[in-house]
Amino acid sequence: MSDLKELYKEVILDHNRNPRNCYIMDCATRTADGHNPLCGDTVKVYLRIEDGIIEEISFQGHGCAICTASTSLMTESVRGKTVEEAQGLFDEFHLMLTGVAEEQGIEMGKLMVFEGVREYPVRVKCATLAWHTLHAAMEEKKENVSTE
């Protein structure tokens, strides 16, 4: 039970219950679809980018608690950031889930709640799907993102 609380932290459970920025954005300048074929998680990320800044971000989709909370927290983390800054956060998020961030002393703020996921290798993709999808939207990739 205590191990499980390391994975399912209160913040994660809260964002799963009440995901932030979860709506269809009519005025999006870019969108991308992500899919985890292994478990059927899907996420669509909407972006309104103006002058290289993410002015607005939202998402729609369905997935497990890790996927939903990760997407919700991601939208909060990158709003107001430049595309480059968001890309940098994605890279650091990756480093955190592979354990490298800790070695390098990278501070992830509230995204640190996902640190526990790295003890569950099959669930890492649940946490990263949203970020891969965001990356695709920023790069304006046309094809669907897949975690496989």
Partner 1 sequence: MMSEHLTARPFDVEAIRADFPALHQQVHGHPLVYLDNAATTQKPRTVIDAVRGFYENDCSNVHRGVHALSQRATVAYESSRTVIKNHVGARDSREIVFTRSTTESINLVAHSFVRPRLKEGDEVLITTMEHHSNIVPWQLLCQQTGAKLRVVPISDEGEIIMEEYAKLLNDRTRIVGVVHISNALGTVNPVKDMIQLAHEQGIPVLVDGAQALPHLPVDVQDLDCDFYAFSAHKVYGPTGIGALYGKRAHLLEMTPYQSGGDMILSVTFDETHFNEPPHLFEAGTPNIEGALGFAKALEYLQSVGIEATQAHEKHLLDQATEAVLEVPGIRLVGRARQRAGALSFVMEGIHPHDIGTILDQEGVAVRAGHHCAQPVMQRYKLSATVRASFALYNRSDEIEALVKGLHTVREVFG
φ/ψ region of 20 (left if φ > 0, alpha if ψ in -120 to 50, else beta) reads beta
Pairing state between β 30-36 and 145-146 = parallel
Q: Minimum Å distance from CB 39 to partner 1?
A: 5
What is the CA 49 to chain-centroid distance, rounded?
17
Under the binding rule (CB under 8 A), the answer on residue 34 touching partner 1 is: no
Question: Of 20-28, 36-44, 96-104, 105-113, which part binds partner 1 (CB under 8 A)?
Answer: 36-44
Residues between 77 and 136 with contacts to partner 1, criterion CB under 8 A: 120, 122-123, 126
17 vs 100 by CB, closer to partner 1: 17
- Residue 20 CB, shortest distance to partner 1, in Å, is 18
- What's the length of the chain? 148
Residue with smaller CB distance to partner 1, 7 or 78: 7
List CB contacts of 8: < 8 A, sequence separation 6 or more: 65
State the Cα torsion 134-140-143-146 to the nearest 10°.
Answer: -20
- Binder of partner 1 out of 52, 62, 98, 100 (CB under 8 A): 62
Question: Which of these ranges, 19-27, 64-72, 80-88, 101-109, lies near partner 1 under the rule CB under 8 A?
Answer: 64-72
**Tokens representing 47?**
């972006």
In contact, 34 and 42? CB cutoff 8 Å: yes
The residues that touch partner 1, with contacts defined as CB under 8 A, are 1, 3-5, 7-8, 13, 38-42, 62-68, 120, 122-123, 126
